[in-house]
Chain A
Amino acid sequence: MVTADTNAATRRRAMVLVALIGLVGGLAVASLGVGPVKLSPATAIDALFGGGSEVQRIIVQQIRLPRAILGLGIGAILGLSGAALQGLLRNPLASPSLFGAPQAAAFGAVLVIALGWADVRSFALPSAAIVAAFASVFVLLAIAGRNAGLLLLILAGLAISSLAGAATSLTMNMSRNPFAALEIAFWLLGSLEDRSFRHVMLALPFIVVGAAILLSQRHAFRALSVGEEAAQSLGVDVGRLRLLVILGVALGVGGAVAVAGAIGFIGLVAPHLMRPLIGYDPGRLLVPSALTGAALLLAADIAVRIIPSTTDIKVGVLTALIGVPFFLYLIVRERRALSGGVA
C-alpha cells in the first residue's frame, strides 16, 4: 500500500514536471513571436533555425532570443532562490525580494555605474550586484539568527531593502548627469527590453552556477524540515548549508539584477503555486519552482508587449502589481502565526 501511494505521488510529480516544461517551452516560443512584428510560432521557430526572411531572422535571433533566454533564466533563478530560502528558513514567506537581495544588488550595480567605474555591459556590474546581494542576505541571516520567526525576518528584510533603496536614491541624487539618473531609474524598474547576447553572457554564468549550488543542497533542505538541530544530527552541516544558500542566491539574483534590474515577487509566488501540486517537501519544490518562475517571467514579459500602452510597461512593475496582492493574501493566511509573536 505504501509503495503504491509512493508511486502515485512520484507519477503525479513527473506529470507536473512535464507539463511545466511544456508550458515554459511554449511561452519561450511565444516570446519569440510577440512584439511590434508579430510572428506565428511556426515562423518564429523557422527563423530561429535559419529559415524565413533576413529581417525575421534578425528579429528572432538577435532581438527576441536573448530576451527569451533571459526571461527563462532569470525567472528560473528567482523561483529557485525563493524555494531555497523558504526551505532554509522553513518559512513560507521567505523570498529574495522580501529580504532586500535584489534591491541591494541593484544598489551595487547603480553605485558602479554612477561612479563611472564601468558601463552597463561590463562584468563589473554583475560582480558588484552579487557582492551587494551576498552582503544583504548575510546581514539578514545574521540579524535573524538561528530560529528566526516570521516577524523578525520580515522586519529585517524591510530594513535592508529600505536601506538599499535609500542608498540607491542617494547615489542617483548625487549623480551629476540627470539623464544617467533617469536611465538608472528606469533600469531599476526591471525590464528585459533591448537585451543582447552580451547581457545573456553577463548574467547566465552566474545564474547557472547559483542554480547548481542551490540544487545540490536539495536533500539538505528536506532534512532541515525537522529543525536545524535534528538535521545536524542527521549529518547536515547546517552552517555550511546556510553559507551555500546565501552564495547561490547572491550569485543568481545578483547576476539577474545586473542585466534586468529588480524583478520582484516571482521567488515568493512560484513555490506557493507548486505546493498544492508537488507537496511541501522543500527538496522536491526546487525544480518545479524554478520552472514556474521561468513561466511567470516569460508570461509577464509577453504581457508587457501585448498590453496596449503608449509607453512601455516594465516587467518588474507588472510582477510587483501581481505579486504584492498575493503577498498580502499570504500575510492574511499566516495572520495567526504573525500575531502570535515570533514563532
Chain B
Amino acid sequence: MNETAILLASSLSVSLGGRAVLHDVSLALSSRHLVALVGPNGAGKTTLLRALAGLVPSRGTIEVGGDMLSSLTLQERARRFAYLPQGHQVHWPLPAKDIVALGRYPHGAADPARLTEKDAAAVMQAMRATDVVALSDRRITELSGGERSRVALARVLAVEAPVLLADEPTASLDPRYQIEVTTNLRAAADRGMLVIVVTHDLGLAARFADTVLVLSEGRLVSQGPPQDALSDKIVADVFRVRTYRADHERETVIVPWAEV
C-alpha cells in the first residue's frame, strides 16, 4: 500500500440497528489530499466518516498516523481527527470565538477565557484562514448561514488535526459560500492535512478534489482521480444520471444533466 498513507482502513463494516450500512470498505489516503466522498442518499457516506473518526463502532481495522484507532483514547482520537458534522448546529448563542476555541478542547484547553498562547494562536490562525476574525464577539445566532459555516470550519481547523472530516459542509449555502468553503478546505489540504469531504456536489468534487471516493449501497465502488472515479459509466450506474462534461480554465467541469 501507499507508504505515505496517513489514514488506512481495511475491511471496514458497520451495522446500525441490525442493518448493515457499510460493507468491507478499504482505503488508503495520504496527507495533502482533498478527498471527496460522494454517493446517493443513504449510501453510507456519513456513516463512513463517523466510523473513520471512531464515532460509531465498526468491524475491520483503522490506522491513523501509524496507530490503530482502537488503541487510542478518546482525547488522542480527538487530536487526530477534526470532525465537522452536518448542519453546524450550535445550541446556545455563544460568541463565535468561543465556538472556535472549542477546537482546542482536545488539547486540554477547556476554557475559552483561559487559552494558552499556543491555543490562542491556533484559534487566531483558524479564524484568519476562514476570515471570521471580525465576527469574534458576535453571537453565533446573529450570523448568516455562510458566516456560521465559516465559524464551524474555523472550529475544526483550530484542532490542527492531521485529518479533517467534513460532512456536507457546503449544504444549504449559496454558490459563493460553497466555493469559499471548498476553497478553504482545499487550502487546508494544501497546508498538509488530509481533508475528507462528504458532498452531493459532483461539480465541486470534480473541480477541487484530488481523489474521489464513490460509495453506493455501503460499498466503495470507485476511487481515484475525479475523471476516472466519476466516469460516465460510474455516474450512470451509481447516481442514475448522465453528465455534461467540459474543461473550463483548465479544470474539470461535471454537471449532472439528465436521468438515465
Q: Which residues of A contact B (CB under 8 A)?
A: 1-2, 5-6, 9-10, 90, 219, 222-227, 229-230, 232-237, 279-283
| Complex alpha-carbon distance, A9 and B16, angstroms | 44
Assess whether B89 is in contact with A234, with CB atoms less than 8 Å apart.
no
Query: What residue in chain B is nearest A9 (Cβ atoms)?
Result: B113
Assess whether A233 is in contact with B53, with CB atoms less than 8 Å apart.
yes
* Given A225-B102, A226-B89: A233 touches B82 (CB 8 Å cut-off): yes
* Given A229-B83, A230-B83, A237-B74: A90 touches B55 (CB 8 Å cut-off): no
A1 contacts across to B, CB distance below 8 A: 136
Residue B257 CB within 8 A of the other chain: no
| Complex alpha-carbon distance, A90 and B90, angstroms | 9
| Given A223-B110, A225-B102, A279-B95, 4 more pairs with CB closer than 8 A | A224-B91, A225-B92, A233-B55, A235-B74
| Complex alpha-carbon distance, A226 and B155, angstroms | 10
Assess whether B85 is in contact with A227, with CB atoms less than 8 Å apart.
yes
Mostly, the B contact residues are mixed
| Complex alpha-carbon distance, A1 and B133, angstroms | 10
Assess whether B92 is in contact with A223, with CB atoms less than 8 Å apart.
no
A279 contacts across to B, CB distance below 8 A: 94-95
Assess whether A222 is in contact with B93, with CB atoms less than 8 Å apart.
no
| Complex alpha-carbon distance, A219 and B152, angstroms | 19
Assess whether A235 is in contact with B77, with CB atoms less than 8 Å apart.
yes
CB within 8 A of B78: which of A90, A229, A233, A282?
A233
Assess whether A233 is in contact with B81, with CB atoms less than 8 Å apart.
yes
Assess whether A10 is in contact with B106, with CB atoms less than 8 Å apart.
no
B79-104 vs A, CB cutoff 8 Å, 1 = contact: the mask equals 10111110011111111011100110
Q: Of A1, A224, A230, A282, which is in contact with the most chain B CB atoms at under 10 Å from its CB?
A: A230
CB within 8 A of B106: which of A6, A9, A222, A235?
A235
* Given A223-B105, A227-B91, A233-B83: A2 touches B97 (CB 8 Å cut-off): yes
Q: Of A225, A226, A227, A283, which is in contact with the most chain B CB atoms at under 10 Å from its CB?
A: A226
Assess whether B113 is in contact with A219, with CB atoms less than 8 Å apart.
no
Sample of 22 A–B contacts (CB below 8 Å): A2-B133, A9-B113, A90-B92, A224-B91, A225-B90, A226-B89, A226-B91, A226-B99, A226-B152, A226-B155, A227-B85, A229-B55, A230-B85, A230-B89, A232-B74, A233-B77, A233-B78, A234-B102, A235-B77, A237-B74, A280-B94, A283-B110
Query: What residue in chain B is nearest A235 (Cβ atoms)?
Result: B78
Assess whether A281 is in contact with B94, with CB atoms less than 8 Å apart.
yes
Query: What residue in chain A is nearest B86 (Cβ atoms)?
Result: A229
| Complex alpha-carbon distance, A280 and B99, angstroms | 12
A236 contacts across to B, CB distance below 8 A: 74, 105
* Given A234-B78, A235-B78: A226 touches B90 (CB 8 Å cut-off): yes
B95 contacts across to A, CB distance below 8 A: 279
Assess whether B136 is in contact with A225, with CB atoms less than 8 Å apart.
no
Assess whether B113 is in contact with A6, with CB atoms less than 8 Å apart.
yes
Residue B75 CB within 8 A of the other chain: yes
Query: What residue in chain A is nearest B88 (Cβ atoms)?
Result: A226
Residue B111 CB within 8 A of the other chain: yes
Residue B232 CB within 8 A of the other chain: no
CB within 8 A of B137: which of A2, A10, A225?
A2
B23-64 vs A, CB cutoff 8 Å, 1 = contact: the mask equals 000000000000000000000000000100101000000000
Query: What residue in chain A is nearest B165 (Cβ atoms)?
Result: A233
| Complex alpha-carbon distance, A5 and B106, angstroms | 25
